A and B are shown apart, each in its own frame.
Chain A
Amino acid sequence: MEAPAIVTHDLVRRFDDLTAVDHVSLKIQKGELFGLLGPNGAGKTTIVKILTTLIKPTAGSATVWGYDILKDQDMIRAHIGVVFQDPSVDNKLTGRENLDFHARMYGLDRATRERRVEEVLKLVELSDKADILLGKYSGGMQRRLEIARGLMHHPNVLFLDEPTLGLDAQTRRHIWSYIKEMNESEHVTIILTTHYMEEADFLCDRVAIIDHGRIIVCDHPGVLKSMVRSEELPDPSLEDVFLHFTGREIRDEEGNEGQHARKIMRHWRMKRR
Chain B
Amino acid sequence: MNLINPQAIYTLWLREMLRFLRMKSRVIGALGMPFFFLAFLSVGFRNTSFSTTSIDYTSFLTPGIIGMTLLFSSTFTGISVLWDKEFGFLKEIMVTPVSRISILLGRIAGGATTAIMEALIILFAAVVIGFNLRGIYGDSSVKGMVSGVILAFILMVLIATTFISLGVSFASLMEDMEGYSLVMNFVIFPLFFLSGALFPIDNLPSSVRFLAFLDPLTYGVDGLRGCLIGESELSIFIDLLALIVSSLIMLAFGSYLFKHTEVD
Q: Are B264 and A97 in contact (CB under 8 A)?
A: no
B262 within 8 A of A: yes
The interface-forming segment of A48-56, A188-196, A246-254 is A48-56
Task: State the CA gap A188–B27 with chains docked (Å).
Answer: 44
Contacts of A165 in B (CB 8 A): none
Contacts of B18 in A (CB 8 A): 92-93, 97
Contacts of A105 in B (CB 8 A): 8, 11, 93, 96, 98
Q: Are B264 and A75 in contact (CB under 8 A)?
A: no
Q: Are A75 and B1 in contact (CB under 8 A)?
A: yes
Task: State the CA gap A139–B95 with chains docked (Å).
Answer: 22
Q: Are A77 and B263 in contact (CB under 8 A)?
A: no
Of the listed residues B7, B92, B264, the one surrounded by the most CB atoms of chain A closer than 10 A to its CB is B92
Compute the total of residue contacts between A and B using a CB distance below 8 Å: 77
Q: Are A88 and B89 in contact (CB under 8 A)?
A: yes
Chain B contact residue count (CB 8 A cutoff) = 27
Could you pull out 5 A-B pairs where Cβ atoms are within 8 angstroms?
A: A55-B263, A74-B99, A101-B15, A105-B98, A133-B22
Contacts of B44 in A (CB 8 A): none
Task: State the CA gap A75–B15 with chains docked (Å).
Answer: 25
B88 within 8 A of A: yes
Q: Are B99 and A54 in contact (CB under 8 A)?
A: no
Task: State the CA gap A263–B214 with chains docked (Å).
Answer: 66
Q: Are A84 and B8 in contact (CB under 8 A)?
A: no
Interface residues of A (CB under 8 A from B): 49, 52-56, 74-75, 77-78, 80, 82, 84, 86-93, 97, 101-102, 104-107, 133, 149
From the candidates A74, A88, A101, A104, name the one contacting B91 in the complex (CB within 8 A). Answer: A88
B187 within 8 A of A: no
Known: A88-B89, A101-B11, A104-B11. A78 touches B1 (CB 8 A): yes
Contacts of A91 in B (CB 8 A): 87
Contacts of A89 in B (CB 8 A): 88-89, 92
B94 within 8 A of A: yes
Contacts of B264 in A (CB 8 A): 49, 54-55
Q: Are B262 and A54 in contact (CB under 8 A)?
A: yes
Contacts of B98 in A (CB 8 A): 105
Q: Are B262 and A106 in contact (CB under 8 A)?
A: no
Contacts of A88 in B (CB 8 A): 88-89, 91-92
Task: State the CA gap A55–B262 with chains docked (Å).
Answer: 5
B128 within 8 A of A: no
